[in-house]
Amino acid sequence: MPLNVFAVGASRNIGYYSAIRLLAKGATVTFLLRSPSVFDADSLIQEHIKSGKVRLVKGDALNASNVDAAWAEASKDGPVDVLIYTLGAVGGSLHPIKGVVLDPPNLVTLALTTVLCSMPKTMPPPKIVVVTSSGVSPTSRKKMPFVLKPLYGYMIPGPLQDKLATERILWHCAGWEWNPADGEPSAEVLNKDWKATEGLPAAGSLKDIVVLRPALLIDCECLADSAAEQGKPLPYRCGPGEVGGWKVSRKDCAHFIVEGILEDWETWGGKQLSIAY
């Protein structure tokens, strides 16, 4: 049966490529978009809008009313099967000591909190796939290629703290044990009373969560599709914990989400995974 999907942060990159794959399989995808006009010149999306398979909801993921409206649109014909959350902060300024500084510093965390708190309580919760990053935590950074450590440790510690806070919330909702070696996210991105946030799913109540940590993201064609056409094995490595590695393309991440994780949830569901070439 075709999936009913709610996509947040999917106007481009991994979320968009995942949505396109899902649409090709007959899924219905509801996009929450600050600017629905981003798809005005996208002929493929426009075709699916005409067929009713794509629904566009204009709104801000930080606005609870907007997110409520998006959930309502996504679930108007039945429960949402899959939530794909690939929101990432863009822009920011470069500080000589702090590296990339975002405003707000916890955009991804705040938006995820809003999405989870607005989740319909009268329907079964969906499978949830959230993309964060390799090197997001202290223990994760220890397993990265040495040459990449300055980038993650100096240039982007702020964005990584934001991603770490999203993971902290997901670990709580999934009932996973948080590694004390990773410490707690800074108060700048996650206040100390976050567990008492109104509407936040209870600890351990969301069992069907996948947190995917990609290696350094690049743009290129989907190597997994090319490999399949040639009868070759997958070009990327994936698995629980940290697989290590330098890079991976956004399109191959989408391939793993749709053709791997969602096709074989029994194998991949309920885990923190990573992917790299």
Q: What is the CATH number of the domain that holds 18?
A: 3.40.50.720
Res. 155 pLDDT band, cuts 50 70 90: low
**Which position has the higher pLDDT, 24 or 90?**
24
User: Mean pLDDT over residues 14-34, rounded?
Assistant: 99
Range of the domain at 129: 4-276
Count of domains observed in the chain: 1
Q: Which residues pair with 86 in a beta bridge?
A: none
Query: How many other C-beta atoms lie within 10 A of the C-beta of residue 1?
Result: 6
pLDDT of residue 110: 97
Res. 274 pLDDT band, cuts 50 70 90: very high
pLDDT of residue 138: 84
Cis peptide before 104 (omega within 30 of 0): yes
User: Mean pLDDT over residues 60-64, rounded?
Assistant: 97
How many Å apart are CA 245 and CA 274, to the nearest integer? 10
Predicted confidence (pLDDT) at residue 15 exceeds the cutoff of 70: yes
User: Mean pLDDT over residues 226-255, rounded?
Assistant: 96
How many Å apart are CA 8 and CA 186, to the nearest integer? 24
pLDDT of residue 151: 63
Q: 60: which residues sit within 8 A by CB, 6+ positions away?
A: 34, 66
How many Å apart are CA 62 and CA 10, to the nearest integer? 15
pLDDT of residue 95: 45
